[in-house]
Amino acid sequence: MSHMLCKECVDERRLNMKKLISLVMSIAMIFCVGTAPAFAVEMNDNPSIKISANCSDDIACLAAQHLQMMKEQLGDSCTAIGFAPDVFYNMTASTPFTVYTFDEEGRIITDDVYMSPLVYADKVVGTIGIYYDSEASEYHYSLGTPYATELNKLFYSTDLDADSGLVIGRLGDKLFATDGANANILFENPIDSTQPAPISETQIEDICATIKANADQQYTTITAIENAESANLTASAGYEIQPRLGPNPIPIPHVKQTGVCGIAAWASVLNYRFDTSYTNATLAAKMIDGGYNNGDGGNPNMTDYKNFANGTHSAGCVYISSPPSFSTVTSAIGAIKPIMGCWSSGTGSDKEYHAIVITGYKKNSSTNYTYYVKNPWYDDATTITVTSSSNVVYVDGSYTWKLLDSVY
């Protein structure tokens, strides 16, 4: 009898996972056909949450094409961003969904960032982020493992009615999913003193109520369809694995952000270059003791990071007040010097800043590069596409981090 119960549990788990894959991946059935509509949507019966067909391009095809390109480019370097080669070569890109940014009144601030889950063996193993930069008239992509665990867990929750469609959004430091009545927090960003105060559960509940009340709002939701495999380009069997030439990407260790993001990111760089063992807290204490804290007891600025590394470790670091050129990136990585940048996302009062490290690159052409970036929020690095060294954007959930300046 116990054996039968166990088998039933296994069967139910398999059913739930199949349901998960169809739910989490799919807002629409998308086909790579020239004149077909970008999104042929399946409308949601829930009057408070509706599916939108407002995507300007075939985002699913873009995700599939980007995945195939990255398979060809990265080779065994996929391990640097958290993928085993057999998983990397065989995973597929599922139908993207919108990741909204809301303000505290429930108004949509941004709705131009998409996430395409990457699936292998009936499991989400990673995500592709896609953002269209209307000012530069170009798409930006990221690919990595962030949010895979959260998406896998989402549909095992009994708190949400996934069958009726879920809205994925961010308010402040919290990424959440809601069915219009309840919400699950998917990811909570570490907060330091340079960022807004943490968002409370009550504020998230208020957002859910606003979404439910806005019956006329066209949200793009995650909902169930059969599958989205028709949106994928089939990868040719057995990509040739490219040899890794030296430490590119540079395998800097992960230092978890528990305080100021720049200190956590810089600790990762220093720990790799000088075999130190800084944590967010120990490096913060050492920099404060040395007066490397913006001269007024505040958080370090980029010059402080340079001066500390040079004064304490004779690192030979330099600061540049703009995004590094392609030649600077190649020479810095060749000299085994990861590049820590200050990046911003949002505008006006909603603008936030974050420290992220460029750890490597792939040159695809003279004007097209792939950068490896390490965010102190996540264990693994991520890849981003760069077509202009002066406009470097990292798509992270609903964030679109733009590189401002750097030290290396």
Please tell me which residue, 168 or 122, carries the higher pLDDT value.
Answer: 168
Assess whether pLDDT exceeds 70 at residue 97. Answer: yes
State yes or no: pLDDT of 286 exceeds 70: yes
Confidence label for 56 from pLDDT (cuts 50, 70 and 90): very low
Q: Do domains 43-231 and 261-407 have the same CATH topology?
A: no
Residue 81 — very low, low, confident or very high, per pLDDT cuts 50/70/90?
very high
Res. 405: pLDDT tops 80: yes
Give mean pLDDT, residues 273-281: 97
Answer for the pair 24, 155: CB distance below 8 angstroms, yes or no.
yes
Q: Which residues pair with 319 in a beta bridge?
A: 407
Supply the pLDDT for residue 13. Answer: 41
User: Looking at per-residue confidence, does 165 or 63 come out higher?
Assistant: 63
pLDDT higher than 50, residue 77:
yes
Helices (H), 155-278: 201-213, 261-274
Residue 264 main-chain phi, psi, to 5 deg: -65, -45
8 Å CB contact between 339 and 408:
yes
Per-residue pLDDT, averaged over 243-264, amounts to 84
> What's domain 261-407's architecture?
Alpha-Beta Complex (3.90)
pLDDT band at 202 (very low <50, low <70, confident <90, very high): confident
Which of 115 and 226 is assigned the larger pLDDT? Answer: 115
User: What pLDDT is recorded for position 349?
Assistant: 81
> Checking DSSP bridges between strand 113-120 and strand 123-133, what pairing results, if any?
antiparallel
Domain boundaries, the chain: 43-231, 261-407
Q: Distance between CA 82 and CA 91 in Å, rounded?
A: 13
Write down the mean pLDDT value for the chain: 79
Averaged pLDDT, 132-136: 90
How sure is the predictor about 296, in pLDDT bands with cuts at 50, 70 and 90?
A: low
Handedness of CA 272, 276, 280, 285 (dihedral sign): negative
- In this predicted structure, the answer to whether residue 374 has a pLDDT above a threshold of 80 is yes
- Which residues, 6 or more positions from 207, have their beta carbon under 8 angstroms from its beta carbon? 102, 104, 106, 169, 171, 176, 178, 183
Lowest-pLDDT range, 47-51, 64-68, 169-173, 318-322? 47-51
Sequence-distant (≥ 6) Cβ neighbours of residue 27 within 8 angstroms: 39, 41, 51, 95, 96, 97, 98, 220, 221, 222, 223
Give this prediction's pTM. 0.79
Task: Give the number of other CB atoms < 10 A from CB of residue 13.
Answer: 11
Mean pLDDT value across residues 323-334: 95
Average pLDDT on 47-72 reads 67
Structure confidence at residue 209 as a pLDDT band (50, 70, 90): confident
Helices and strands in the chain: count of H runs, count of E runs: 9, 19
Q: Stretch 38-57: mean pLDDT, rounded? A: 31
User: Mean pLDDT, to the nearest integer, of 367-388?
Assistant: 96
CATH number of 43-231: 3.10.500.10
Burial 138-154, CB ≥16 within 10 A → b, else e: ebbbbbbbbbbebbbeb
Instruction: Check whether 164 has a pLDDT greater than 80.
Output: no
Least confident segment among 33-42, 179-188, 367-376: 33-42
Beta bridge partners of 114: 98, 130
**330-338: average pLDDT:** 94
Evaluate if residue 253 carries a pLDDT over 70: yes
Q: How far is the C-alpha of 341 from the C-alpha of 69, rounded, in Å?
A: 26
> How high is the pLDDT of residue 219?
66
Q: Is the pLDDT of residue 226 over 70?
A: no
